[in-house]
Amino acid sequence: MTTLDGKAVAAAIRLELKSRAQAFEARAGRKIGLAVVLVGDDPASQVYVRNKAKACEETGIRSLTLTFPHNAPQGEIVRAVTSLADDTTVDGILVQLPLPDRLDAAAILAAIPPQKDVDGFSAENLGKLARNERACVACTPRGVMELLSRYRIETRGKHAVVIGRSNIVGRPMALLLLNADATVTVCHSQTKNLREECARADILVSAVGKPAFVTADMVKEGAVVVDVGISRINGKLCGDVAYEEVSERAAYLTPVPGGVGPMTIAMLLTNTVEAAERGLK
Ligand code: NAD
């Protein structure tokens, strides 16, 4: 079994991006800028935002974090996003999710112009992806595709099964695999015969969020298994896949941590660099 080492691949990508960020700065006379909007004091979100800011700094991207208290009015947040949209030194904008329930997340996200939507969550970017047109693609599924590609794993004609259909992982993941010529099955909480569906997969991507959800009997001998899930057991990170037993059957497998997670951040940086470069043309 070969480990799909997302940490190592992400490090190589970040090195490539560093020189692109330098080249951009030389041409544009300013650094690439990524703005992150954080509402409330959810500890996990705070950690994610800090990690994104750190990754930006290490890549030579200017990061700007706007924090709002959990009770900030909707209008104030929308106005802030709108002013970032108008700011020519800001190339990418992301709003850290989840937002507090009382807020209209869709309305806040709609204030991000598609060309600065580095999370790829907008209807326009998801719609373009569905039409197989060039789009800003959600970071996690894009990271999975990049990881497969760097290990030269063929998707054309392969049977790919995606477990999960969220707008940020499962759905764009299925579309990317389809656009890469795989035959795609999407499974979700209402799927009957999940085990049989998964056992037919040449490429199995799990994005559920339940520890040890994918067991060896769900995996075809020699399959490529990508574990997107992140859960915590006694403070320790784990994925959806029962790692030990699945590693006996899979040909390729991502670890958690060190698999898809680092690729997600690398793709956020990639989307930001690409957004900046597009703005220069
Ligand atoms: P979500 O809760 O929105 O979606 C989970 C999906 O799992 C749903 O579509 C649901 O239909 C499906 N599901 C739930 N129970 C099921 C069952 N019994 N059988 C089949 N399908 C079932 O979550 P999400 O935002 O898509 O994230 C999924 C997981 O990926 C979470 O663990 C999240 O933390 C993780 N995640 C990781 C990264 C990363 O960078 N590695 C990024 C985003 C999300």
- Strand-pair partners of 33: 62
Q: What is the pLDDT of residue 281?
A: 72
Nearest CA to ligand 1 atom 14: 189
Does ligand 1 lie within 6 Å of residue 262's CB atom? Answer: no
User: Taking the chain (281 residues) in consecutive chunks of 10 residues, what is each chunk's mean pLDDT?
Assistant: 98 98 98 98 94 97 97 97 98 97 95 98 96 98 98 98 98 98 98 98 99 98 98 95 98 98 98 96 72
Which of 117, 119, 202, 240 is catalytic? The answer is: 119
Backbone angles phi, psi at 272, to 5 degrees: -70, -45
Tokens of 223: 């399959």
CA–CA dist 277, 55 (Å, integer): 19
Q: What is the pLDDT of residue 79?
A: 98
SS (H, E, C) the chain: CEECCHHHHHHHHHHHHHHHHHHHHHHHCCCCEEEEEEECCCHHHHHHHHHHHHHHHHHCCEEEEEEECCCCCHHHHHHHHHHHHHCCCCCEEEECCCCCCCCCHHHHHHCCCHHHECCCCCHHHHHHHHCCCCCCCCHHHHHHHHHHHHCCCCCCCCEEEEECCCCCCHHHHHHHHHHCCCEEEEECCCCCCHHHHHHCCCEEEECCCCCCCECHHHCCCCCEEEECCCEEECCEEECCECHHHHHCCCCEECCCCCCHHHHHHHHHHHHHHHHHHHHHC
Does ligand 1 lie within 6 Å of residue 257's CB atom? Answer: no
**Whole-prediction pTM value?**
0.97
* Cα–ligand 1 centroid distance for 129 (angstroms): 20
